[in-house]
Amino acid sequence: MKTSLPADFSHAVEAVAIGASAGGIDALFTLLAGLQAPFRGTVITVLHLPQNHQSKLVEVFAARLGIPVEEAQPHAPVASGRVYFAPPGYHLLVEADRTFSLSCDAPVLFSRPSIDVLMESCADLYGADMAGIVLTGANQDGARGLARIGAGGGLTAVQEPQEAAHVAMPLAAIRLAAPGYVLPLAGLRSLLHTLVR
């Protein structure tokens, strides 16, 4: 487990799966800040929201960040140079043909969309050509998915728990997935920029 990036760190990936829950909006603003279009790879994000909540994530993040931000749509191709958000009330998966699919299967750890479901589907498809990042949250979602990414050779990172608004999710991911990096948001931002540059 590393707590800083080596000076010569250079590792590009095809996709980055990010999971966040309580406190996640502010964490994502910090993490994604400064990301410039066009960029290589795809950023796919699950942020826990109430199932009946009308999501404004795309509008809010596109306005604040100035990069292409979309809500993932079923059967739509996973395009490079985009930040995608899972729609509320559905599990989000990436299929073998690199298109999105949505599922109404039961919530996982009381959550739908589930970070684990997204990360596991991405790990099975992208293998070592992906990264997973778990941020602040009040449950254990994301730990199992991050472990799957690591087992497939992907890069794994977790927000430093002492900095997180809610420590439960980062701590669970550290215990189960033994991530390659545990970094504050500023370090995770540098890591993300390197991964998709």
Report the catalytic residues. Answer: 21, 48, 141
Buried b (16+ CB within 10 A) or exposed e, 124-162: ebbeebbbbbbbbbebbbbbbbbbbbbebebbbbbbbbe
What are the tokens at 43?
């950023």
H helical segments located in 36-138: 57-65, 115-126
| C-alpha span between 131 and 195 (Å, rounded) | 8
| C-alpha span between 90 and 119 (Å, rounded) | 14
Beta-strand runs (E) in 3-154: 15-20, 42-47, 69-71, 82-85, 91-94, 100-103, 130-134
CB atoms within 10 A of CB 34: 13
